[in-house]
Chain A
Amino acid sequence: MTRIAPTEPETGEAPAERRAPRGAGPSGSPRQDAAFSGLALGASLLILVVLAGVALFLCLQAWPVVGAPAEEFYGGEGFLSYIWPLVAGTLIAAAIALVIATPVGVGVALYISHYAPRRLAKPVGYVIDLLAAIPSIIFGAWGASVLAPRIVPLYDWLGAYLGFIPIFAGPASATGKTILTASVVLGIMILPIITSMSREIFQQTPVLQQEAALGLGATRWEMVRMTVFPFARAGIISSVMLGLGRALGETMAVTLVLSGGPFNPSLIQSGNQTVASEIALNFPEAYGFRMNELIAAGLVLFLITLVVNMLARFVVSRYKEFSGANS
């Protein structure tokens, strides 16, 4: 997963500062400079080589899939019919997770950074960070054994009253092991990513700007809307994209929570599957062409994450001019 730089906060007069010390000052001897830039260059080359190696491996292994007859694929109808339900399941699960986690994450972050009394802010932030430290298999086990059975009544209710909407079509799963449950678990898992990153950026909003807003007679919420959100916009997008990357690639939790199957438009019935979970479930027994097929699925997942990240970068860069980085 490619990582997005979080908005480069406090870029205040950074360009000038960054340029100034180079080759100047008593500590920066030219030899040290050369050694360090060599080291940095080496490290970046190494990363590039490793990345290229992984990409090459994926491509080579996935190659046999190209042009193979349709019957050879799992399901017997070619690669496209095999992969699209998995891609759909992956995107649906990740999207629902984001819809849940983004408002909650940003809200909690804002509460911690601007609303909570200081005595409370610390522990709340700490607990959220702890969430990030829980291994995903634990989330999976919790989702499957605790959340799924308890969420069934909600699904029954959705099926009964909102069943006319295709995504809530009944009858609801009796076990609760649906893609919606998996999405909720994913949402909880990416919550700390969004919260801790947003919080950090909220806290970096220049005090001077916040005081400017308050000095004009803004309430705290108006001040947040005038200064904190605009300042943090690129950072929020980055954090959401980071969470999305995690949700797209998350394997263990989905594998444990979802009792998968073919594509199913209803989110409260069993069925649906994600790419990552499909690979995890089938890889141990796979050999020959099946293996190539699963790796090709992995390549598709890789491409999706790549596109998501590039989109995020594009969005972030579009807001650069007005981002506050030049104030």
Chain B
Amino acid sequence: MMVEKKKTTTKKTETKKQEAKKVAPVKQEVKKQAAAPAPAAQNAVAAPGATTQKDARIGVFICHCGTNIAGSMDIQAVQDYAKTIPHVAYVDNYKYMCSMPGQTLIQKAVKENNLTGVVVAACTPRLHEPTFRTATKDAGLNPFRFEMANIRDQNSWVHMHDREGSTEKAKDAVRIAVAKAALLQDLFPKSVPVEPAAMVVGAGVAGMQASLDLAAAGIKTYLIESDMSIGGRMSQLDKTFPTLDCSQCILTPKMVDVGRSEKIELMTWSEVENVEGYIGNFEVTIKKKARGVMTPKEAAAKGIVGGGCNGCGDCDAVCPVIKPNVFEVGMKPRKAIYINHPQVVPLIYTIDFNACVKCGLCVTACGPEKRAIDLNMQDEFIKVKVGTVILATGYDIFPIENKQEWGYKRYENVITSLEFERLICASGPTGGHLVRPSDGQTPMRVAFVLCAGSRDNTGIGKPYCSRFCCMYSLKHAHQIVEKIPGCVPYIFYMDIRSFGKMYEEFYYRIQNEGAKFIRGRVANILEDPKTKNLHVYADDTLLDRPVDMEVDLVVLAAAIEPKADTNRTRKLFGVSCSQDGWLLEAHPKLNPCGTTTAGVFLAGVCQGPKDIPDTVAQAEGAASAASIPIHMGEVELEPYFAQCIEEKCAGCGMCVNLCPYSALSLVEKNGRTVMQVTEAKCKGCGTCGGFCPGGAIWMQHFATPQIVAQIDAFLLGGEE
């Protein structure tokens, strides 16, 4: 193979020149650039039998996509036209080109008609480029000899009612694709080895499950958590619907497993600082925030034998600084040196340096043996190499005080569901007794406001459904009926979304337990200043009458939103988000764990609202997907690299600074300074190629002559 490749070098350079001559000029400069000979490196990958434009024989295959395409244009007219395009040697159409018979059609036609390139006019490369590349390869051609014409998403779907217009547009699209196909070259993807380690960002139930799965598959996993302990939101919950098992009871064993696993390197109080590289070879810089307290391991490394934090809490007892405990949603105090709750993993205290007055009392209390506390600790930066990454950064609660009509933060007895979880939880601030914040009394009438800030098109709340609030509010209703005899839950809802396994049955159960359901959106809540009771105003849309309900406590099922720093995180990893801010999956149905960045996967609520069962399922999917490249040992990179045409390179180095991926450098070659591409780093963005003043950069698969041919095909309507 290697020998053959070399043989073609000179021939290819010449043919390239000939091709370029054939290209009709658009502008003089473009023409000059287009005439550039392909670089030596370029030719090295061209296979024997590479065609010139002259002997290119292109097959065009037009897809009906059922009626998606055929319903909006005249396929026969497009086919008849395609036959007249230069270089087209074969034309056919079929109902579903992507199906087995469709693909067989391509293979047969290539062999029987000695085709050199394939054009499929159908949907989008995003959906089916891989499919048709494989078909092209199976037909015996290099897979990069395939070109797609998008006549569905950007044509029949948008011009559904303009049959004539869409037919003409399809003709253009086919002609443009053929122009490029005639100039396509054989390309060979490179394989790079994959670092046999993974990283998971965020240690909620999603991140924990993904890490445990990766570890079980024998993969070294770095689990990065920004908080001082793991567990995420689930560790704040009391019970879980619909089975009502205690959240702690099912989560803590997993937390312990994560802490104990030899394959998992858990880094709490840490954040991702920087990311470089690509699938198989991510180089991630992690910031270990100064925690002020050393683990036994860290103490040992400093020569303090038998030292480090053992979680005794002696420091906590003496610290004079009091702050609200965020884990308890501010309803319980903590010290400047603290743990979130008694069951934390890892059981290591942390100092909140924004609050600490550096009095040193904790250092003394900790004592000369453990010497765990270091008030001068600095942030540390650690670099690790991993092959794949899973993002599992979870969610925040929408600031529901922005919906001012419900009075959260104005009326003491209006709380959120998360506060409810802590108040009803045995390990919470009240030991599991639900009380009114205003007077500590047990409420006997509790209103639940569903869709609080969700499904809200006022511009203040969120347009989407937060997906688990219906179900947890039913759970809450059950919990108060169970714990407080005679207490009545009033549930104000739009519609109850009990969509999961055994969820509808749970809904019936709560109805039978005596919860009252009022179908209507709460318009306004007013406090009675004397009793601090609340009047809930709504329209009962089933009875068609206004409601003024006096209750003792209101629980707002507040919407959820992406974590505040989601944008920063996603940009580090080159991941997109959908318009509502949640991280964007590669395909909503067929690739819900992947992202458009190879090697980066998603798990849990960071991708969109979902309950624990769905979160865990996605986490297991992401772990499986993230382990595939690691188990394969190497990954193929798309061969869309930039190449330097060394004879033309002036060594000015401008492109080196422009490249957003640091893929370019200057090297000495034969006594000259020329640019060199690190292919594995190049993402083929084309920034350098578009810029180079000497036209010395060749973008594989998007080379100037290929693009000029497409433009000409469009502007000149196929005439030379």
**Do chains A and B stick together as partners?**
no
Footprint of B on A, CB under 8 Å? none
Chain B residues proximal to chain A, CB less than 8 Å: none
